[in-house]
Structure 1
């Protein structure tokens, strides 16, 4: 009996303890839930602020979208036929000439691609990337209102990857131009284009950096870097600021996967506009020329000159008869300012010079022997590229430039290697597919090549065949070029 009473009391006690613990937990959970709902309510002020930001972004996009276009291109590619497989006389008895011609004939394929563009003039001028329309046999432009027109290439500039296309259409809305020089890091920007064929896709982000050079995308680089998502198909589309003004042409991404990884590049609108105006007026780009070879300031030089920042460009050579020589510029001079703009580095100076119209007189500030001097120079026109026509030499279509210290460091070329650097190769050149951009040509037909002058001299002598020795990625090799 006593044992039963003990079990009963124990049971009642356990039940009481369980109920007490349950009430405590329930009370605590209810307290936390109430606290959560009370502490984390979104205030009306926050909601209104976010709504205003969202509405403002939508307003900018609605204003800009009618100026954005889709660009579709088609290109015909011819491939050699399949060699007749049965050269043995035994097999030839069973196949006639028609069957053999079936194997040997060329086959033609149509390659299609897509990109973006932006209407910059209501008369029909459209700005896009050169690589979007490169080699196209047919260009179709689709507008925001779904109308489709044939596009005509007005001109292109491979060195900046800019092209101008024109369509004949009414009711076009041109985008407003912005001043890319006023862009600040951290400023909000919007990218619009057609990634992966998805019409008029909008992404936003900030300006991550300005003045990006040595990226390896084009010859003249002064890119705006942004984290606004840019993917294949965005090329040629606009990058706009919060005013809906064009500040850049989306060009490329940095990626190890082929997709967006937070680093995109756009050509500044000011650079694009200069190139566009030249292409429309002159059918080519007229660039300024100072006539100096320059490189960046290193730490040791900055210390010796008591410079606080590694800014400016040091002159390593002055070309004979150039505007620089006439202005009195000398080797070892450090250019710190050009036409009122502070020079960041050698790449920045190069872009400033080529963007200056020939004939314009500019003021330069230089450091010479530790003292600052002012010099005026009249900018000339950049000489024609070191290139020959295909009818003259097997080396035709190869464009080269001097192996400067800057290029040597950039391409990691050892001091023992001397020659000229290949900057580009025409598609119909005998060297296409054999030499590539960045190769250093060191010898042609047993003649050493130390500079562009040596290269051009040999080019004039060589006709149908050339043995070319070159340096590429740590290895010296040779190829034999023949007229195809």
Structure 2
């Protein structure tokens, strides 16, 4: 019994010792694990402080991205300019109202009091607009759109990266293609852009449009050529490159550029339901721009040939109509201008022109373009159907503005006052035989008034558009040069008398004498 008690006590002591050892071991392991975790946490908190091995990040030197657009932009953008135009709009009143005294009981006077501070004419207003252009010659010649500078009384050009503005003059315009050439004079070495051959452009090619949309100078957008030879959205001689590069108001006149850095178009128009970009823009091809530019800098205008036939594209190329007239293809003539080359060649309304110089005529352009591009005075060979019989004739090409004077706008595309600035608010041009016929003064000598500026000395004297000045102070005027010479010799305060011929009521010729004293500012 005593031995059993001793064994039990020994067993209990051993268990107690083992328990103590186990507890001690557990505490040691716990301390070690806590130290490791604590060390890791401390290392994490100590990042960036002295003693760490981490490397700080640095901003590297810039590396040029592989971007062909940037090279093109750097090549062309310096030659792209911003064009700001101003057109002074005068509120005009009749001479009768100007001569009447103030009448508080006049109902019209009440209207003027309400809306114009009592002034029937109101203050002059300036209409300002913005566009773009591209320098194509170091002498300062710039290509742009006619609608950018049309009717402008002041044109100012801002070069890329330059805050100065340079006054530009109009070299010439072409309303049929909506192109214009202007020029600035500066001693700076001007950058230029090279015009390429737009005939080589393919649908799907990348292009860049550069310009000043909404006045934001040197804006570049990218897109592709969406279509070529797009017609039916502008004038007869406009065939466009279509692009989805963003073109907005202010882009007009700026270049459309291919990835070789050549200008392949002049941005001209957009189709949109609002005033902004919707992915449908149009540029006049560079091949057209080159032809127009060369004619303008050479002769100040664009000459196109014509034989004097008129037609409506859709009706004149209708297959059913052509079949009924016995023609497999062609263009049906609707009318022939009186006295035109076509009339002299024997053509009549109802004839179907089937070829020009041996080339088939299947569209209106097939008929118009080769004649328009022919030299004035040259002959074209025409094949035509009449009464189901094929016939041939030759016609002599004449200047289109002579054949169709009523559709020419400004005769031969010339600008008013092309010979110099307006004196007395008068813009005059040469009185050609055709102009004489148009205003009913055939066989007369003088210069024709093409514009009378509002609130000018000329308007006060009673001049009107279409008047013919035949004498100044009893000196015959036979040309613009005679006119300039006569007015340049006058001083402020001198008496001046104009002999004026004016057609009235269709068949009456009036001879008027308009007189006054030369104002201090001869431009007014």
Question: Which bracket does the TM-score occupy, shorter chain normalised?
Answer: 0.5 to 0.7
**Aligned match for 2:278, one of 248, 255, 261:** 261
Q: Which runs of 5+ in 1 are unaligned?
A: 1-50, 93-99, 400-425, 430-456, 465-484
SS at match of 1:229: coil
Q: Distance in 2 between matches of 1:233 and 1:157?
A: 20
> Match of 2:154?
138
TM-score, scaled to structure 2: 0.55
> Match of 1:353?
371
CA shift, 1:115, in A, is: 0.3
Q: Distance in 2 between matches of 1:206 and 1:344?
A: 30
Q: Distance in 2 between matches of 1:127 and 1:340?
A: 36
Q: Deviation digits for residues 174-204 of structure 1, max 9, x if unmatched?
A: 2222233444433333221110111111222
**Aligned match for 1:299, one of 319, 324, 336:** 319
Q: Counterparts of 1:80-479 in structure 2 under 5 Å?
A: 87-88=104-105, 103-104=119-120, 106-146=122-162, 147-169=164-186, 170-215=188-233, 217-218=234-235, 220-296=237-313, 297-301=317-321, 312-319=330-337, 321-325=339-343, 332-335=350-353, 338=356, 343=361, 345-347=363-365, 349-362=367-380, 377-384=395-402, 385-386=405-406, 460-461=506-507
Distance 1:320 1:109, change over 3 A: closer
Q: Distance in 2 between matches of 1:287 and 1:307?
A: 28
> Match of 2:67?
55
Distance 1:340 1:142, change over 3 A: farther
CA shift, 1:374, in A, is: 7.6
SS at match of 2:208: strand
Q: Distance in 2 between matches of 1:246 and 1:365?
A: 39
Distance 1:160 1:60, change over 3 A: same
Distance 1:111 1:332, change over 3 A: closer
CA shift, 1:210, in A, is: 3.1
CA shift, 1:349, in A, is: 3.4
Moved more, 242-251 or 332-341: 332-341
Q: Please tell me whether the aligned partners of residues 312 and 337 of structure 1 are also in contact (alpha carbons under 8 angstroms).
A: yes
> Match of 1:411?
none
Distance 1:105 1:298, change over 3 A: closer
Q: Distance in 2 between matches of 1:265 and 1:342?
A: 29
Q: Please tell me whether the aligned partners of residues 227 and 262 of structure 1 are also in contact (alpha carbons under 8 angstroms).
A: yes
Q: Distance in 2 between matches of 1:122 and 1:189?
A: 25
Moved more, 165-174 or 227-236: 165-174
CA shift, 1:333, in A, is: 4.9
Q: Please tell me whether the aligned partners of residues 222 and 348 of structure 1 are also in contact (alpha carbons under 8 angstroms).
A: no
Q: Please tell me whether the aligned partners of residues 115 and 235 of structure 1 are also in contact (alpha carbons under 8 angstroms).
A: yes
Q: Please tell me whether the aligned partners of residues 327 and 388 of structure 2 are also in contact (alpha carbons under 8 angstroms).
A: no
SS at match of 1:87: coil
SS at match of 2:334: strand
TM-score, scaled to structure 1: 0.59
Q: 2:85 aligned with 1:73, yes or no?
A: yes
SS at match of 1:211: strand
Distance 1:229 1:319, change over 3 A: same
SS at match of 1:79: coil
Q: Distance in 2 between matches of 1:120 and 1:341?
A: 35
SS at match of 2:275: coil
Q: Point out the structure with max Rg over C-alpha.
A: 2
Q: Distance in 2 between matches of 1:143 and 1:246?
A: 18
Q: CA RMSD in A?
A: 4.3
SS at match of 2:180: strand
> Match of 2:23?
none
CA shift, 1:213, in A, is: 3.1
CA shift, 1:262, in A, is: 1.7
Distance 1:101 1:112, change over 3 A: closer
> Match of 1:8?
none
Q: Distance in 2 between matches of 1:338 and 1:65?
A: 43
Q: Please tell me whether the aligned partners of residues 213 and 347 of structure 1 are also in contact (alpha carbons under 8 angstroms).
A: no
Q: Please tell me whether the aligned partners of residues 360 and 366 of structure 2 are also in contact (alpha carbons under 8 angstroms).
A: no
Q: Deviation digits for residues 433-453 of structure 1, max 9, x if unmatched?
A: xxxxxxxxxxxxxxxxxxxxx
Q: Please tell me whether the aligned partners of residues 327 and 352 of structure 2 are also in contact (alpha carbons under 8 angstroms).
A: no
Q: Distance in 2 between matches of 1:263 and 1:345?
A: 25
CA shift, 1:254, in A, is: 1.0
